[in-house]
Amino acid sequence: MNTSSIRVRFAPSPTGLMHIGNVRTALMNYLFALQKNGAFVLRIEDTDPERNFDPEAKHILADLAWLSLQHSEGPDVGGDYGPYFQSQRMDIYKKALDQLIEKQAVYRCFCTTDELEKKRQRQISLRMAPRYDRTCMKLSQQEIQKKLDAGMPFIWRMKLDHDKTVRINDIARKVMKFELKNFSDFPLTRQNGSYTFMFANFVDDMSMKMSHVLRGEDHATNTAGQAALYEAVDAPIPTFWHLPILCDIHGKKLSKRDFGFSLKDLKAAGYLPEAICNYLAIIGGSFEQEIMSLEQLAQTLNFDETHTRGQIKFDADKLKWINRKWIAQYDTKKITELCLPFLLKEVPEAKNLEKEKLVTLVGMVQTDLVVLPDIVNALRFYFVAPDVSAVKLNSILEKPVLQNVATVVSEKLEQITNPDQFLNSVKTTAKNSGIPLKALYSFLRFALMGTTKGPGIGELITMLGEQEAKQRLQQALKEI
């Protein structure tokens, strides 16, 4: 297929916040289009007004923009195949239904919901596959007219050819065959005159000339029916790829209670969009280089060698690792801007700091950050002197060692105006006195920032300034 004819789409429903499964579907469609030099279309499936959480799709558009998944066609940018809101495409659905009616590929079904449920339960009790029994397909024209004259509500059902086998191409499964005798005549409309997801989805993909349909594995059950619809109107069937379902580490489908399910929660937890996309693109695969931009991912992913699997596990620890790598390689000024809201929320004093100084401070701890809120604990010591009590000091070093370290630091403290000279001097004296350097560094770091892990001692002194560093060390020495 000529790459210029490649067309894929992301078709979310605005009935809730974007979740991680939505993000992965959007991402893979975007990367596929980017690799093939095709079109990435955004279509909003908003035909359920009562459940619409985001009627104008503002949240969806904002989330895609934050993730840098730029669509080439959509409700905000237009295109040749609009409208891009399903609620504005009713005339298109009616025309497609009329075409099927003319071909006698559909029929009216007058069965009520209660009647259908009773039939379903009876079939289950008889250990039969629950399937519509085609009662209404057998109605004569006279019987149909009688029901219409009585004002009985009805739906339109697809009349499947049970002697037929439909075939589709699937990127992972290759050629898939479906014997239509194993499928039920499915509804195309509802009694209120609206169109079902299955029908509207097919009409949109056909009329928008989608070459490939990349969607979640949970939509795989729709494929046979939609393939039958394509064949009923003599339209080319797109190539499919059903993406594996994201599950937790125990193999259960991710739910709202699971960390990482909501994109909003991941954003609030301080994950970068680059890291989220990076992780979701490589999840379930094996890559020599794992940290990649969208452009690198598009160049690296091999869509011709995807494997069939129903689910892949969402590993929160791997996402953290990737996020840390991305933070470490980010421009320090940009990462400072992203960290600032988290810092100001917990440490209001930070607002008084000059921007250049704050960038310098962030740069010194940048490689230690796993998520953006980590900046609070990483820099709190700068704004608030640590509580260094005798009890706490004795918890990190044994008393004799602590006293020996204190002696060395006291003797050399006046040299702190030259941080390098001070540090070299205390190191040399400690070595000559048989004091472990680990013990020396633990005391210095704890006195300066309240923890034994963090930036180098010289960096800490530079960050705090010689005077503040000296005062903190003197305060710690008083506790020994």
What are the structural domain ranges in the chain?
A: 90-243, 385-478
Cβ atoms 158, 185 nearer than 8 A: yes
- More confident: 249 or 436: 436
Q: Tell me what the pLDDT averaged over the chain comes to.
A: 93
E strand segments, 269-417: 311-313
* pLDDT (0 to 100) of residue 1: 40
SS (H, E, C) 106-133: EEEECCCHHHHHHHHHHHHHCCCCCCCC
The pLDDT of residue 290 is 97
Residue 301 has pLDDT above 90, yes or no: yes
Beta 106-109 vs 212-216: how paired, if at all? unpaired
Q: Tokens 């008084």 identify what position?
A: 352
Model confidence pLDDT, tens digit, residues 205-239: 999 999 999 999 988 889 999 999 999 999 999 99
User: Is pLDDT at 412 greater than 70 in this prediction?
Assistant: yes
The pLDDT of residue 340: 97
Residue 55, pLDDT > 80, answer: no
Q: Tell me: pLDDT of 308 over 70.
A: no
Q: What is the dihedral of CA 398, 400, 405, 408, to 10 degrees?
A: 180
pLDDT of res. 307: 67
CATH classification for the domain delimited by 90-243, as one of 3.30.300.130, 3.40.50.720, 3.30.360.10, 3.40.50.620: 3.40.50.620
Q: Name the pTM for this structure.
A: 0.91
Same fold, 90-243 and 385-478: no
User: Would you state the pLDDT for residue 309?
Assistant: 67
363-392: pLDDT as tens digits:
999 999 999 999 999 999 999 999 999 999
> Which helix H or strand E contains 176, and what residues bound it?
strand 174-179
For residue 262, the cross-strand partners are 19
Mean pLDDT in residue range 403-407? 96
Rg (CA), the chain: 32
In this structure, which long-range contacts are made by residues 302-308, counting pairs with CB atoms below 8 Å and at least 24 apart in sequence? Answer: 303/32, 303/35, 303/171, 303/241, 304/171, 306/171, 306/172, 306/241, 307/172, 308/172, 308/173
The yes-or-no verdict on residue 3 having pLDDT over 70 is: no
Question: Residue 50 pLDDT more than 90?
Answer: no
Quote the CA–CA distance of 144 and 182 in Å, as a whole number.
Answer: 27
What is 385-478's CATH number? 1.10.10.350
* d(C-alpha 150, C-alpha 144), whole Å: 10
Q: Where are the beta strands (DSSP E) in 276-386?
A: 311-313
Highest mean pLDDT among 147-151, 259-263, 454-458 belongs to 147-151
Over residues 167-196, mean pLDDT? 93
Q: Angle CA(295)–CA(300)–CA(305) in degrees, nearest 5?
A: 135
Confidence of residue 4 (pLDDT cuts 50, 70, 90): low
Which pLDDT does position 218 carry in this prediction?
87
Contact between 30 and 273 (Cβ < 8 Å): no
Per the CB < 8 A criterion, the answer to whether 130 and 123 are in contact is: yes
The pLDDT tens digits of the residues spanning 97-133 come to 999 999 999 999 999 999 999 999 999 999 998 999 9
pLDDT of residue 234: 96
